[in-house]
Amino acid sequence: MKKFAILNGPNLDRLGKRQPSIYGTATLRDLEKLLRTSAKQLGVRVTFFQSNHEGALIDKFGELADQGCAGVVINPGGYSHTSIALRDAISGSAIPTIEVHLSDIKKREPFRRKSMTAGACVAMISGHGFPGYVEALRQLATR
C-alpha cells in the first residue's frame, strides 16, 4: 500500500480559530479526518505532520525520502513565499509533492501571490479549501 504524507506549515494548527473569514471554521483535526477517509477510499495510507518551524519541515522531507514515501501534499503556509531552504528540501527529496493553499494566493496581498516552493512541486492547488487537499492526494495516488 502506497504511503503519502500530509505536511502543514506555520499557523495551520490554528485552523478554525485564525482568520475564519479566510480559512473557515473547520480545524486541522477535521482536515485530517477528511483525508483519512479519502485515503481509505483511494486504498493508500497517510501520515500527518504539522510544524510552525521551518527546519522541522525541512528535516521531515529528508526522513520521508529515507522512508520511501510515495508522495507529499504540503501546505507550507507563509514559508511558501519566503523559503528557498524549504524549496531545496522538496526538490532534493525527489518525492512527488503537491503544494496546497486553502485560500487563492493569487487573490491575496501582493507578497502572497508568488510561491517560492511551488516550483519544486509537481503541481499547486490554491483556493479550493479542504477539497484541495483531497484533490492533491487523489492526483498523487493515481500517478
CA distance linking residue 127 with residue 143, whole number of Å: 22
Residue 115, pLDDT score: 95
Check 23, 53, 79, 81 and give the catalytic one: 23
The pTM (predicted TM-score) of the whole model is 0.95
Mean pLDDT by 10 residues, the chain (143 residues): 97 92 89 98 98 98 98 97 97 98 89 91 97 98 94
53 is catalytic: no
Residue 3, pLDDT score: 98
Residue 85, pLDDT score: 98
Residue 19, pLDDT score: 85
Domain boundaries, the chain: 3-141
Check 53, 79, 81, 101 and give the catalytic one: 101
Greatest distance between any 2 Cα atoms in the chain = 41
Residue 134, pLDDT score: 98
CATH number of 3-141: 3.40.50.9100
Residue 128, pLDDT score: 96
- Per the structure block, which three cell numbers stand in for 95? 518525492
76 φ/ψ sector (left φ>0, alpha ψ -120 to 50, else beta): alpha
Q: Which amino acid is at 118?
A: A
Residue 104, pLDDT score: 92
| CA nearest to 18, candidates 52, 48, 46, 47 | 52
Residue 24, pLDDT score: 84
CA distance linking residue 71 with residue 56, whole number of Å: 18
